[in-house]
């Protein structure tokens, strides 16, 4: 892997770990210091970051990490909806029973952890990783490197947006997990229309949260049952 590619990977890790945040201004030297790569590698990766819409170069101010503007939210979530719906139909048809059972077990594990250890940051991080991992698994099941890369870049955009607009709390994580359950139950039943309906509800809810339009999440003590759905 080239230094430029390693620098890019380091940059995206810093974004996902919230060491670099939406709207932040940085210079090339700042980035070199932050991600620990030579200035030359940073300069070489910047055109890729600009092409992917992750940063914008502003005269006299340096590089700005993308902000959570309404237009970006609309575009990123529209792309997500388009890609994930196609991937979900493929996953329903092709995923093995073992792979689906693994996703269900991971969901149940983190649901329990969030309810019983709500104040543990590591448990919230694990729950969030399961959330993201499920969506990544849908896309990667298609075996299309171009689509997977498109999803990966868009997922970075969406995570920057969500970090900026939504505070990570036990309640917000519990809500996202609750929305996953009907999707997974429909996948287990190999019921593509029901899975698509549940996914649509989940993505619409995430979009509303990103726009600051969603109602307060349900209390954490709410019991999560199979087949639970979130009201519009």
Show the domains of the chain with their CATH numbers.
3-65 (1.10.10.10), 70-211 (1.20.120.530)
CA atoms of 199 and 118, how far apart (whole Å): 25
* Residue-averaged pLDDT of the chain: 86
At 58, which helix (H) or strand (E)? strand 55-58
In this prediction the pTM is 0.81
pLDDT in tens, 17-32: 888 888 889 999 998 9
Give 37: exposed, middle or buried? Use CB within 10 Å, 0-12, 13-18, 19+: buried
Which of 59-63, 154-158, 227-231 is predicted with the least confidence, judged by mean pLDDT?
227-231
């Amino acid at each position: 892997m080239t230094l430029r590619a390693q620098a890019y990977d380091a940059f995206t890790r810093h974004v996902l770990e919230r060491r670099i945040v939406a709207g932040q201004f940085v210079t090339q030297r700042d980035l070199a210091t932050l991600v620990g790569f030579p200035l030359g590698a940073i300069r070489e990766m910047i055109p890729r970051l600009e092409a992917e819409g992750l940063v914008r170069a502003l005269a006299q101010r340096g590089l700005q990490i993308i902000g959570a503007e309404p237009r970006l939210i609309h575009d990123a979530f529209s792309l997500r909806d388009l890609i994930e719906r196609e991937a979900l139909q493929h996953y329903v048809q092709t995923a093995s029973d073992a792979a689906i059972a693994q996703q269900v077990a991971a969901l149940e594990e983190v649901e329990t952890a969030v309810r019983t250890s709500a104040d543990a940051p590591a448990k919230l991080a694990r729950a969030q990783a399961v959330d993201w991992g499920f969506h990544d698994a849908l896309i990667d099941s298609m075996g299309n490197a171009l689509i997977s890369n498109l999803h990966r870049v868009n997922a970075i955009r969406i995570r920057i947006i969500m970090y900026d607009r939504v505070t990570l709390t036990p309640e917000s994580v519990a809500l996202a997990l609750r929305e996953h359950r009907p999707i997974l139950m429909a996948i287990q039943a190999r019921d593509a229309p029901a899975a698509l309906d549940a996914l649509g509800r989940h993505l619409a809810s995430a979009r509303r949260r990103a726009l600051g339009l969603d109602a307060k999440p349900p209390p954490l003590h709410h019991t999560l049952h199979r087949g639970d759905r979130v009201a519009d």
